[in-house]
Amino acid sequence: MILTKLRQFLYRNRRRLLITTGISALLYLSYQYLISKFQEYQQRLTEERFSREQIKRRFEQTQKDSLYTVYSLVPVLNNGIFESLAVEKITRDLQARRLEKGKSNVALNGSQVDDVSTTTATNATNVTEATGAGEVRKSKNELWNDLKIMSLTRLLTLIYAQSSLILLTRLQLNILARREYLEDAIKLASSKHGFVKKEFPGKDQRDEASYVNEQAYLSLSWWLLNRGWVSIRQRVERAVRETFKDITPRAELTLDDFALLLNKTQYLIEQSSDSEADQFTNLLLSTVLPPANLQNFVFQQTLDYTSCSFIGKDSDSLQVLIEETQNYINSPSVGIVMNSLATSGISTALNTIAHYIHNKPLIQPTDQDTETHRDISQRKLKLAVLLANVGKVANEFKTYPENSFINSMDSAEGLDELSASVYSNFEV
């Protein structure tokens, strides 16, 4: 009886029951679909966040590695510059002249010259000995002029050469880090979606060739360390001579005056004329990378025979890396970054000079120390005094492992942005 009524009820309401069941099933499936999509969205956000954090950590570590690499290479760079621009030798010659003058004055004051002929003969003998030595003895004014030009040339050459090294190292390590990141990302994506990358015969040889190409790419810094910086020195020296040609060592300058002269010199160094050969970017390119016909020469200086053989057989990957680096160096952004690096180095030098002279740095004044800053920057000093401190500042570049110049230039505006832009180029 009950079963009969139940069948009748179901029969009478079969349409409603079917609709209700269908709607319920649809709602359930929709709910499950939304839940699964929401979970996928959460997982994707988590993966993207992890990927961004991974890129950030990799980027920060690469910049640290670049700084450590610069610290390891800069002693070689400095050795060549200090040997070429031996300011201390000129200083010793000037000190010897001062001692000679002092001794001659004491001798004249402590004795009577009775025999003019004897004195004349003695002087003639001294002249003969000096002439016999075959050396042209420079006058005191000539020595001071040499000291002026060489001191300033050495300081600015150190700044620009180390700026070039920082720039090149940043580009090289970030380009290689980007390639490594892309390879890891492809492997991760393949394993996630169940794709197994087939290993082809000869893979180990290709990996070894790729490794050798990357090592050869990094070894190109040998050119800057041993040859390229000479071009910087020549350009710097021309700019220094042009700016300081009419300023004698006795001239009195304030630190602000001296800073303006250095800024003018910096402008002349970075100024590009209509001549393509005189373009600053071309100078920078020839400084940090060897010309194509000398690349093998650099590899012979830095790689073993086996590696050189690999390069001779397969250098396609290497040439791609070199061309990308050349494109970056030729870009306007690199010129801006180089200006920022050099400005940072010059500012550090001026602050160090102010600290040596006044025991206070020449920093931008606040409301509390405006008077102190004005007193320091407006106090007049002879150029000779400034040159003596320029020599001391140059020796600060020999400070290892921590160096205030390298640290300040490594934090220069635009350098991190340039390094980050490397990761946006996925064509390589």
Residue 253 contacts residue 378 (beta carbons within 8 Å): no
Rounded mean pLDDT, 65-71: 95
pLDDT of 5 above 90? no
CA distance 71 to 210: 26
CA distance 428 to 425: 7
388-414 residues labelled b (16+ CB within 10 A) or e (exposed): bbbbebbebbeeeeebebbebbbebee
CA distance 43 to 356: 58
Instruction: Identify the helix (H) or strand (E) that includes residue 218.
Output: helix 203-219
Residue 158 contacts residue 403 (beta carbons within 8 Å): no
pLDDT, averaged across the chain = 82
> In a 10 Å sphere around its CB, with 0-12 CB exposed, 13-18 middle and 19+ buried, how is residue 97 labelled?
middle
Looking at per-residue pLDDT, the higher value among 279 and 93 belongs to 93
Chain centre distance of CA 133: 45
Looking at per-residue pLDDT, the higher value among 320 and 110 belongs to 320
> In a 10 Å sphere around its CB, with 0-12 CB exposed, 13-18 middle and 19+ buried, how is residue 364 labelled?
exposed
CA distance 224 to 229: 6
Residue located via tokens 């800024």: 263
Q: What residues form DSSP beta bridges with 381? A: 253
Q: What residues form DSSP beta bridges with 252? A: 382
- Residue ranges covered by each domain of the chain: 74-83+153-194+204-422
Predicted confidence at residue 49, as pLDDT, reads 86
In angstroms, what CA-CA distances link 389 with 25, 215, 245?
87, 40, 20
Percent of the chain with pLDDT over 70: 79
pLDDT digits (tens, 9 = 90+) for 228-244: 999 999 999 999 999 99
Nearest one of 139, 376, 387 to 249, comparing CA atoms: 387
Rounded mean pLDDT, 203-212: 67
CA distance 68 to 72: 6
Structure token pair of residue 257: 């005056």
Most confident among 115-119, 361-365, 392-396 (mean pLDDT)? 392-396
Predicted confidence at residue 157, as pLDDT, reads 98
CA distance 206 to 427: 20
Of the listed ranges 70-79, 196-205, 372-381, the one predicted with least confidence: 196-205
Question: Cα 38–40–46 angle (5° rounding)?
Answer: 105
Q: What is the pTM of this model?
A: 0.80
pLDDT digits (tens, 9 = 90+) for 101-120: 666 554 445 544 444 344 33
